[in-house]
Structure 1
């Protein structure tokens, strides 16, 4: 992503604010595919729609990776740290089979 942006001289545009906004916009495009669907319909997307969703998810991933690069965030490390936090917030014995927020378990 860094090289891709550099080859196009996009660095001035790739500020954290702009990248975060682009990330949110692309996430909205993912959501758009599921709006008004039932849970069952959302689990059984037609192949063409699934492919469109896949490309939107790729956009989300690419903006996320670029934002992490610009901010100097090690995303894999941050994800591991967050999973440890979540394991404490959502212990199996209290969270199993529940969708409640951690402060309501």
Structure 2
């Protein structure tokens, strides 16, 4: 969807921006990914998910999905784990999260 020129802007508008709006407005506030990760959250009883993408400087996207199920973690701990894992994924791709590109 995001790579299709006709739908990219509309697609971006459906995702929450880390630390800025939607279901992740209070998450990633102190993260370098604030304003740079475009996310969709999901929750069920005992399940927490976070998916989306981070724009990388070379023009690539880091696309990810994190689903936590059956761990006994409360929502706060699950969110903390997701945020730490996402930051680590960005760094593993050889990118300092401060150099991730803001799409706007």
Q: TM-score, normalised by structure 1?
A: 0.29
Higher helix residue share: 1
The structure with more radius of gyration: 1
Higher relative contact order (CA 8 A, sep 6+): 1
TM-score (norm 2): 0.29
